[in-house]
Structures are given as C-alpha cells and as structure tokens.
C-alpha cells in the first residue's frame, strides 16, 4: 500500500484569449464559436480572462483566401511564440478550423509540460518504484509554443472532424457549414436517340447549390441532323430545349433527376413540305456526374444521362413515316463552369 502508485487527472492549463477578425473579413466564426471549437477538441474549457498566459488570434482576408495569425505571450507580457497559417479557400471556415486546431495543440502541449510542483526542476519519485530504489524522473523544462520539449510524448487533441492530416479535401468539405453557391457554365454533349443519327449538342446552364443538394436550369440546342429516303426525299431536323435537374451530392459525385421540354422542327427536301413540320416533346431522365475543381472558383464536370421520351413525335414525308423519335435516348457531356460565390 505504501509503495502503490498515485492516480493523476488529465493535465489542464488556462489561457486568456484575444480573438480578432479583420474589418473587411466576412463569414468568420465569432469568439464564442471559436472558443467552443477549441473546447470541444480539448475536452475542457481552457479560456480564463485572468490567466497568466495570453494568446492573440487574428484572421484576415488576403488576395486569395484567408490568413490566420497566432501570438503567445507569457505572464510578464513577453512574446514567446507565434504562428502564421493560410488557406486558399474563399470561405473563412477552413482557416478558422485550422487556427482552432493549432491553438488546441499548443494548449495541450503546455498542459503536458506543466510542472507538478512549484519547483519545475525538482526530481520526483517514479510512480512504480519505491523510495530509494534509484528510479527517478524529472519534469522537462517548458518549451516555447511551437517547440516541443525533447522526449515529451504529448497527447494530441482531436483535429477538426477527426482527420489528423487536416489537409485532405474530405476534411475541408466536412468542416464547412452548409452554404449557398451559385455557378454557371457551358459544355458540349454527344446525343444519342434525339435525332435521326448521333449528333452534337451544346448547352448553357446555371446552378444553385446548398450542400448536399442543388438545382440546375439549362438550355440546349443540337446541330441540325438530316435523313434522306431512297427516293431522294428527306428532311433536316433542328432541336432546341430547356431543362432542369435536381441533384444530390456526395464528395465529387452527384446523382440527378432531370426533366426536359423542347421543340423539334423538320425542314423537308425533295417534297413540297413535311406533313409534321414542328412539334413539342418532353423527356424525363437520370444523370450521374463527377466534378473536379480547379482552385476555389473553376470546375469541370463529366456527366452521363439516360432519357425517356414522354411525348413521341413523327416526321411524315409524302404520306410516309420518315422518322419517329426513339423511346429512349442518352447524353454524354462535359461541362466547364465558374463559381460566383
């Protein structure tokens, strides 16, 4: 019983926080949110206005993205360390999460290096050895912020969303709160089952996204496609349409339901005129897509769509059916776009 070890509580330390957001910076978490992020990672609230150690945090916008600055001072007001972080993202949530993680790591380090007694260099008995056994350990000297003491094994707080790298795209996506993004773009497509033969199609679209959902509006037009009959008669077909897509997103992938309404117009040759010169059509379909971002503003996407014709349409030449819209069709396309915010 006399030689038994002692149980010790998880080391804790307190700091006084001065948190500042630059005047021209928007969308950054307020002081209470920042403090709660650090508290959640540490498992306790380290912030006390009367604490001897002080930490100053400042977040500001730069030309591309945001910058975070951390400065530590001791009880005598002397600066003992600082750190500068940056993020190319156009939203403030990522740099705030990274700064909060850095602050939590440093507080945990200071807590681990906190001496057990007022005399930081005094030797103490080993927890498993008896007095006089010669087994001793000494408390390491406190290192400045950002410089861990040699031989000290410090437990790390949980980084944002549990990802220790803090640099992967998945952790960045998870750390962001839901926000609205508006984008626009254009792109070519290869259309099957929408004209007498495979043809090209171009479209322009606008999309609004509030993770994990988005709504897209688009207009498209196909290259003229023609068909010639054995007797020399034939027709040329024009197609123009408007459509909408409701999508769900998971990482870079999306699945969508689509709806299209448009107009087909035939121009006959070798006959006086086609019996069905123009008509409306409608389609429902499904889409899968994958998007690759380039920086925080530009993106490219590949998409594959399957379509079902709800209102078939027929072109008649000289009382003979020249062509009818297929029941099923498909699109393979590439889109290129830009985020406005």
Question: How does strand 314-317 pair with strand 253-269?
Answer: unpaired
* Angle, vertex CA 106, rays to CA 6 and CA 88, nearest 5: 150
Q: What is the pLDDT of residue 323?
A: 81
The closest alpha carbon to 237, from 173, 299, 186, 313, belongs to 313
* Angle, vertex CA 53, rays to CA 50 and CA 54, nearest 5: 85
The answer to whether 30 and 17 have CB atoms below 8 angstroms apart is no
The answer to whether 193 and 326 have CB atoms below 8 angstroms apart is yes
* Angle, vertex CA 313, rays to CA 321 and CA 272, nearest 5: 50
The closest alpha carbon to 307, from 183, 222, 204, 250, belongs to 222
The closest alpha carbon to 12, from 50, 45, 54, 35, belongs to 45
The answer to whether 171 and 152 have CB atoms below 8 angstroms apart is no
Numbers of helices and strands, H then E, in the chain: 3, 17
- In the chain, where are the structural domains located? 16-115+139-164, 181-339
Q: What is the pLDDT of residue 157?
A: 55
Q: What is the pLDDT of residue 179?
A: 75
Domain covering 181-339 in this structure, CATH number: 2.40.160.20
Sequence-ordered alpha helix ranges (H) in the chain: 31-42, 93-112, 169-175
Kindly give the confidence (pLDDT) of every residue in the chain, 341 residues in length, as a single tens digit, with 9 standing for 90 and above: 344 444 455 578 888 999 999 888 888 989 999 999 999 998 899 999 888 889 999 999 888 888 999 998 988 888 888 889 988 888 898 889 999 999 988 888 888 876 653 433 334 333 333 344 444 433 334 444 444 444 444 445 555 554 444 444 444 444 444 578 899 999 999 999 888 889 999 999 999 999 899 999 999 999 988 888 777 777 788 899 999 999 999 999 999 999 999 998 887 776 555 555 788 889 999 999 999 999 878 999 999 999 999 987 787 766 677 788 899 999 999 999 999 97
Which CATH number is 16-115+139-164's, of 1.10.10, 3.30.530, 3.40.50, 3.30.450?
A: 3.40.50
Q: What is the pLDDT of residue 324?
A: 83
Q: What is the pLDDT of residue 113?
A: 76
- What lies within 8 Å, CB to CB, of 181 at 6+ separation is 208, 209, 210, 339, 341
> Per-residue b/e over 252-282, b at no fewer than 16 CB within 10 Å?
eebebebebebebbbebeebeebbbeebebe
Q: Whole-angstrom Cα distance, residue 145 to residue 82?
A: 7
The closest alpha carbon to 110, from 142, 77, 72, belongs to 142
DSSP state of 121: T
């Amino acid at each position: 019983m006399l030689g038994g070890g002692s149980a010790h509580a998880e080391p804790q330390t307190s700091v006084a926080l001065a948190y500042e957001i630059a005047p021209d910076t928007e969308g950054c978490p307020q002081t209470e949110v920042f403090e709660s992020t650090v508290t959640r990672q540490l498992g306790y609230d380290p912030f006390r206005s009367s604490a001897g150690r002080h930490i100053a945090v400042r977040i500001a916008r730069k030309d591309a993205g945001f910058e975070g600055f951390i400065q530590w001072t001791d009880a005598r007001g002397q600066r003992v360390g600082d750190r500068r972080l940056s993020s190319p993202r156009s939203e403030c949530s990522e740099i705030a999460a990274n700064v909060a993680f850095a602050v939590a790591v440093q507080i945990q380090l200071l807590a681990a290096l906190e001496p057990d007694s007022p005399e930081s260099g005094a030797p103490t008995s080993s927890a498993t050895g008896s007095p006089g056994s010669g087994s001793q350990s000494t408390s390491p000297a406190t290192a400045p912020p950002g410089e861990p003491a040699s031989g000290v094994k410090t437990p790390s707080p949980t980084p944002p969303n549990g990802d220790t790298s803090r640099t992967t795209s998945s952790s960045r996506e998870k750390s962001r709160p839901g926000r609205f993004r508006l984008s626009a773009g254009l792109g070519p497509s290869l259309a099957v089952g929408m004209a007498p033969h495979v043809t090209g199609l171009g479209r322009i679209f606008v999309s609004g996204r509030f993770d994990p959902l988005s709504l897209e509006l688009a207009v498209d037009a196909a290259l003229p496609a023609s068909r010639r009959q054995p007797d020399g008669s034939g027709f040329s077909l024009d197609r123009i349409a408007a459509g909408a897509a409701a999508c769900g997103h998971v990482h870079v992938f999306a699945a969508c339901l689509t709806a299209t309404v448009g107009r087909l117009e035939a121009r006959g040759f070798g006959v006086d005129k086609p019996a069905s010169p123009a008509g409306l059509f409608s389609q429902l379909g499904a889409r899968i897509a994958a998007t690759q971002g380039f920086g925080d503003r530009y993106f490219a996407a590949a998409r594959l769509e399957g379509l079902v014709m709800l209102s078939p349409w027929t072109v008649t030449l000289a009382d003979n059916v020249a062509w009818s819209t297929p029941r099923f069709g498909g699109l393979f396309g590439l889109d290129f776009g830009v985020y406005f915010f």
